[in-house]
Amino acid sequence: MTLLRGANPSRYQRIQTLLVAVGLFSCSAVFFTVVSRVDLLVEIIRWEFLAVGLLALSALIAVRDGGLRRTWLFAFALEAGFGIHLGGVGITGKPPGPLFRVVWAGVVGLIAALILGTLGGSLGLGVKRLSTS
């Protein structure tokens, strides 16, 4: 890791960001796999709570970074992990195939990143600018 850090700091930062995004996607996908098997958790965890959590996370990332690029990437990764489990629910009569699930995860991730990531990031940037003024 020190070789990467010393060679090119921006390249190291991009690799680190990509690894965090892959980790967020994986954790989100595993989390929703586990949650869907426990009835009590299915009743407690609602999509509204997840949306508010994503808004808050987006605001914090935007405040830390001063921009929206990582906010969009991390929102996409989290919601794509969530979306991979919603593939085909109410759309097809049979369980969806892997290609449909991946496409559906991409669509859900993109929509969430554009809406929730932008809104949360903009709120975070606004608070940051108001606090520094």
Q: What is the mean pLDDT of each run of 10 residues along the chain (133 residues)?
A: 56 89 92 79 78 92 91 94 73 74 91 94 93 82
How many structural domains does the chain have? 1
Tokens standing for 22?
């892959």
- Is 13 among the domain residues? no
Tokens standing for 16?
């680190």
pLDDT at 1: 46
pLDDT at 90: 57
CA distance 112 to 41: 22
pLDDT at 70: 92
pLDDT at 92: 57
- Is 9 among the domain residues? no
Domain hosting 67: range is 24-132
- Is 91 among the domain residues? yes
pLDDT at 109: 93
Tokens standing for 23?
């980790």
- Is 106 among the domain residues? yes
Tokens standing for 36?
């869907």
Residue type, 86: L
CA distance 40 to 118: 32
